[in-house]
Amino acid sequence: MRVHASRERAVTRRRRLRDAAAAARASTHTDSVRPAQAEEDKKAGRKPTRVKRDRSANNLTIISDDGWETVPTTTASVRRSSSRKERSQSPATVPSDVNMGGFGALLGGDKKKKDKDKKKKKKSRSKDSLTDLDEVTSIPFDEDKYRGKCKAAVAEYFSIEVVDEVVACAREELATLGEPSRLSLLASAALDVVLDGKQKDRERVPQLLLALSEKDVLTPAHFSTAFLEALAILPDITIDAPKAPQWLGDVLKALVEKEACSLAFLEGGPPAALTELGDEGTECWSKFKDYVSS
């Protein structure tokens, strides 16, 4: 529960920071444009331009202080006007089979039947052809479902301590739900136990991750992605669990010691989720990096 709440809190904080930055940029742009226009009017000896808009059902007129009226024209309005004009000038189209009486109706019916048969044949060929890309649809990735499977597999391991069950889940169930790169979420599920689990389970996480590494289920890339995801919410986790950076660092140290992972991913700098938090995020990153490097 603590990890889930911290994720939501971190997302909310980052969204507020982004919205505030966007509002500040928009305000600065508006304030810089208005004085420039006023200065230009002053140099030209004109009165400051004030725009009035006259809106009606079919008209949008801009009236300036000097009395000039301007009707803005858009591509869409020109296209609609041109279309109406063409329709008014062109004669009404009459189906060719009207003048042919019953014989024309029979011809029309035959044509419809032929078109229908063609569509059936085309659909049949599409079903039988493996190369018809129009019929191929990809299943979107369901992250919530995938995370649920990972969480259940990790929980089962802590219950019966059979790593082969986790391996089977990764190679059978998870393989049908996402690409191999998504297995980083399996490592994330284990790190969630480190941040929000019991002490006895926390101590067994390195054992599980090392076993999955030895069985070629998880790679250094999976571990790097999982740790970066955990670090993104670490400042919020630390509010409720001050020792969280140390718990997370101990697991990373154990993996590095057995050469299942390296510290190379820490050289790329803090993730965007931490830099958006300002000094709080960068300080959290620096402390964690110093701890695992010592």
Gap between the Cα atoms of 85 and 66, Å rounded: 34
Reported as a single tens digit per residue, the pLDDT across 49-106 is: 554 444 444 454 555 555 555 555 554 444 555 555 555 555 444 444 445 555 454 4
Sign, CA dihedral 93-98-104-105, equals positive
> By the 8 A CB rule, do 219 and 264 touch?
no
Residue 9: HSE in the Cβ half-sphere, 13 Å Cα cutoff = 14
- Greater confidence, 95 or 227? 227
Cα separation values, 220 from 110, 227, 258, Å = 66, 11, 12
Residue 24: HSE in the Cβ half-sphere, 13 Å Cα cutoff = 6
Residue 28 has pLDDT above 90, yes or no: no
Residue corresponding to tokens 């070629």: 216
Highest mean pLDDT pick, 20-29, 124-133, 136-145: 136-145
Reported as a single tens digit per residue, the pLDDT across 105-140 is: 445 555 556 666 665 555 444 444 444 434 334 679
Closest residue by Cα to residue 186 from 221, 220, 147, 157: 147
Closest residue by Cα to residue 12 from 231, 277, 244, 228: 277
What is the domain partition of the chain in residue ranges?
A: 183-293
Reported as a single tens digit per residue, the pLDDT across 172-223 is: 999 999 999 999 999 999 999 999 999 999 999 999 999 999 999 999 999 9
- Residue 60 pairs in a beta bridge with 55
The CB density around residue 265, as the number of other CB atoms within 10 Å, is: 17
Q: Could you please state the CATH topology (level 3) that the domain comprising 183-293 is classified under.
A: 1.25.40
